[in-house]
Amino acid sequence: MERRGSTMQMGGGAHVLLLPFPVQGHICPMVEFSKRLASKGVRVTIVIPTVSAATKSMKQLLAAQPNNSSFKVELISDGSEHLQKLETAEEHSERFRRVITRNLSNLITNINKNASIDSDNSEDEYDNDDYPLKCIVYHSCMPWVLDIARQHGLDGAPFFTCSSAVTAIFHHFYEGVLKIPSKHARISSTTMLLPSMTAPLGFNDLPSFLSDVDAYPAHLKSTLSQFSNIAQVKWIFCSTFDKLEEKVVKWMASLDWPVKTIGPRIPSTFLDKRLDDEKDYSLSLFKPDVETCMKWLDSKEAGSVVYVSFGSLANLAKDQMEELAWGLNNSNYHFLWVIKESEKEKLPINFFEDISEKGLVVSWCSQLQVLAHEAVGCFVTHCGWNSILEALCLGVPMVTVPQWADQTTNAKFVADVWKVGMRVKVDEKGRITKEELVMRVTQVMEKEIGMEIRKASLMWKQLAKEAVDEGGSSHKNIEEFVAQLRCMIR
Ligand code: UDP
């Protein structure tokens, strides 16, 4: 078993700074990546670029945990705590970039000032500040961090938290290979086979920033900016594994991108069990109601519960929430539904009285522990990339209910490429009806019909484990990165 933060090997002393974008789905895989680096003796400082109440309490929670010495967490301000008025998307990204550039630069200067050049002398004392920084791994949506790294003489590497297929699709658009006709000039049945893809895609399978290029201009601009300096970076980390996206990963390599697939990154307890690890992500912006969920699940038969979650950023229309609510209540299965506090008011009146013992609603759960529970038979998911990887790792079949961003593309791959789930169809108003939800859930849950999906789920679970096990593709990529870091002189 690899012990976190305990292995100091010859030529050690590498110190890496990781900068996730401050949303849950971006923090999780980067923290798990940090733990792996730390288990190999790399010093890691995770910098969360905001000082909100949630990140402060997250840092306190981490400090209270035993075994927390594998990485340090620093919070830096993005200036949002001083805001007097609502900002436009452009003002937001300009302020974020300006304030983070200044505060990140100051932090790097301080770390390097404290760093002792002869770091090998202090192997027993864990203090990141003893080690000069060598590299910044930043979320790919902040490509300008490469300039900050360079100004301090460091290497920089983007970390893509989405699927590589999604990254490739955006790159095809960036390069003009993928051309998207305006909505009224399209034939809706048209499909496209892009150079990096195994399956043809329809317009509705594209990320929503592209299927409707006018709908989210600021998001599209920011996503495309990821490629602005990609030819200059030393490594590109992707939260996926080779076998899952073989053709796309090969296509990326054919562009001479220095890609390192390092996924799936979920706590070791749930996959390879090679780290002395926790049962949940170490940094969570929300507090899970673990006991209530586990007790309730323990009282249910194996494979009898439908788990439903729309992720950390869910914001569904009221009529859609109502349809889903009645769909779940009309199905033959128990359900555990995560609904953020702010969304609960969209539920039908008397919903809680009506569901009685059939369903449990919580504001946040430990999704990994829920998916790992034998009572859970399927996952109705919004198709956030982390949720997909977690379901794959735990062998849980899915019913996909994508909302926006990359979720539409992820849903396509779940249903038609990896064949580990079914996609719900929307009606002419773009809504999922209760009847459609009941039908898809039943198809996945029923023993006969869902058999092939369950078989495929178990196959991907095995392949995910192999990727992170000793000698697997993701394991090798992390070993190589660590070896390269150690060879770097600063
Ligand atoms: N999650 C959780 N508890 C919940 C709901 C979600 O721990 O009740 C976690 C989930 O395990 C995943 C992350 O939140 O790691 C959500 O990330 P994802 O990429 O799936 O979706 P996003 O929130 O970014 O839309």
Token pair belonging to 441: 């859930």
| Residue 67: predicted pLDDT | 57
Phi, psi of 160 (to 5 degrees): -95, 115
The answer to whether residue 458 scores a pLDDT higher than 80 is yes
Please name the residue that has the structure tokens 């302020």.
95
Strand-pairing partners, residue 337, are 308, 361
**Residue among 367, 371, 381, 390 whose CB has most ligand 1 atoms within 8 A, to mutate:** 367
CB 213 within 8 A of CB 178: no
15-166+214-281+468-488 shares its CATH topology with 290-464? yes
Q: pLDDT tens digits for 313-340?
A: 989 999 999 999 999 999 999 999 999 9
Atom of ligand 1 nearest to the CA of 266: 15
Mean pLDDT, residues 226-235: 97
Atom 5 of ligand 1 has which residue's CA nearest to it? 311
Cα–Cα distance for residue pair 238/242, rounded to 1 Å: 10
Q: How far is the CA of 129 from the centre of ligand 1 (A)?
A: 32
Q: Which of 3-17, 256-270, 287-301, 396-410 has the lowest mean pLDDT?
A: 3-17
Rounded Cα–Cα distance for residues 159 and 357 (Å): 43
Question: What are the CA-CA distances from residue 421 to residues 414, 418, 431 (Å)?
Answer: 6, 8, 19
How far, in Å, CA of 177 to CA of 197, rounded? Answer: 13
Handedness of CA 217, 222, 223, 224 (dihedral sign): positive
Phi-psi group of 383: left, alpha or beta (phi > 0 → left; psi -120 to 50 → alpha; rest → beta): left
How many other CB atoms sit within 10 Å of the CB of residue 311? Answer: 20
Residue 161 pLDDT greater than 70, yes or no: yes
How far apart (Å, rounded) are the C-alpha atoms in residues 377 and 379? Answer: 7
Half-sphere exposure of 87 (CA within 13 A, CB side): 15
Q: Which atom of ligand 1 is nearest to the CA of 390?
A: 11
| pLDDT of 66 over the 80 cut | no
Instruction: State which ligand 1 atom lies nearest to the alpha carbon of 407.
Output: 25
Which among 265, 380, 386 is the best mutation to test ligand 1's pocket, defined by most ligand atoms within 8 Å of the CB? 386
The ligand 1 atom nearest the CA atom of 364: 8
Choosing from 239, 240, 387 the residue with most ligand 1 atoms within 8 A of its CB, the one to mutate for a pocket test is 387
Give the span between the Cα atoms of 91 and 96, in whole angstroms. 8
Q: Could you identify the atom of ligand 1 that is nearest to the CA of residue 381?
A: 20
Cis status, amide bond into 264, omega within 30 of 0: yes
Nearest to residue 108, comparing CAs of 74, 77, 142, 58? 74
- Among 49-58, 61-70, 372-381, the minimum mean pLDDT is found in 61-70
Residue 28 Cα to ligand 1 middle (Å): 9
Q: Does residue 308 surpass a pLDDT of 80?
A: yes
State the distance from the centre of ligand 1 to the C-alpha of 311, rounded, in angstroms. 4
Residues in contact with ligand 1 (CB, 6 Å cut-off): 23-25, 28, 288, 309, 311-313, 338, 364-368, 384-387, 390
pLDDT at 125: 47
**C-alpha 474 – ligand 1 centre gap (Å):** 22
Please name which of 94, 21, 83, 88 lies closest in space to residue 313, comparing C-alpha atoms: 21
What is residue 477's three-state secondary structure? helix
Give the Cα separation of 101 and 144 in Å (integer). 9
pLDDT at 4: 46
41: left (phi over 0), alpha (psi -120 to 50) or beta: left
485: CA distance to ligand 1 center in Å? 31
Is 473 a residue whose pLDDT tops 90?
yes
Token pair recorded at residue 317: 């229309």
Report which of residues 301 and 54 the model is more confident about: 301
User: How far apart are the CA of 66 and the centre of ligand 1, in A?
Assistant: 24
- Domain coordinates in residue numbering, the chain: 15-166+214-281+468-488, 290-464
Could you please state the CATH topology (level 3) that the domain comprising 290-464 is classified under: Rossmann fold (3.40.50)
Instruction: Domain 15-166+214-281+468-488: state its class.
Output: alpha beta
Backbone angles phi, psi at 286, to 5 degrees: -125, 150
Give yes or no for residue 5 having a pLDDT over 70.
no
